[in-house]
Amino acid sequence: MTEVIHIEKKNVKFLQKVVELSGEEVTMCEQCGICTTSCPMAEEMDVSPAGIMRAVQIGDESVVESKAIWFCASCFTCTVRCPRGIDLAKVTEALRQLTLRKNVDHIDLDEVKKESLPAIALVSALRKFTG
Ligand code: SF4
Ligand code: SF4
């Protein structure tokens, strides 16, 4: 049976924005938790992958402030295992974009020990954490 989710009107815009940015049907998530149990980064996250999906479904904007969306390594394990075919990595990317598109970086380059990082890690970090 499909669950009916009642969302406050003021939070619908947030849900719509994430759906638009990610291209994913977030409302299709059935909260099975497979993404959470599959995620190699879940233990480091303050909100589980399934919790991220739930927060977006109910329009809870506070998920943008979570550490979890930055810990997502875009490994696509959850994506290939989701029974609803949802690409959760695209959802976390959309949530990161909500910050980065305001030109707010999630990394302080002055704090990064650039010489101790492989070049590819530095490039990846710049692409993921800067607007
Ligand atoms: S695996 Fe898919 S359907 Fe299940 S909780 Fe995660 S995103 Fe939702
Ligand atoms: S894509 Fe992100 S949320 Fe999904 S399993 Fe990988 S690290 Fe976890």
Write out pLDDT tens, residues 41-68: 999 999 999 999 999 999 999 999 999 9
Dist. CA 86–CA 101, nearest whole Å: 23
* 39 Cβ inside 6 Å of ligand 2: yes
- For residue 117, the 8-state DSSP code is S
36 CA: nearest ligand 1 atom: 6
Asked whether the beta carbons of 41 and 66 are under 8 A apart, the reply is no
Residue 131 tokens read as: 């607007």
Residue at token pair 């959850």: 78
Residue 33 CA to ligand 1 center (angstroms) comes to 6
Pocket of ligand 1 (CB under 6 A): 29-35, 49-50, 53, 78, 82-84, 86, 88
Asked whether the beta carbons of 26 and 91 are under 8 A apart, the reply is yes
Dist. CA 16–CA 60, nearest whole Å: 12
DSSP SS3 for 68: helix
Closest-approaching ligand to the CA atom of 3: 1
- Sorted by where each begins, the domain ranges of the chain are 9-100, 107-131
DSSP SS3 for 15: helix
Name which CATH class applies to 9-100.
mainly alpha
**What is the full per-residue pLDDT of the chain (131 aa) written as tens digits?**
556 666 677 689 999 999 999 999 999 999 999 999 999 999 999 999 999 999 999 999 999 999 999 999 999 999 999 999 999 999 999 999 998 887 778 777 777 776 777 888 888 877 888 87
- 25 backbone dihedrals φ, ψ, rounded to 5°: -80, 80
C-alpha distance across the termini of the chain, in Å: 41
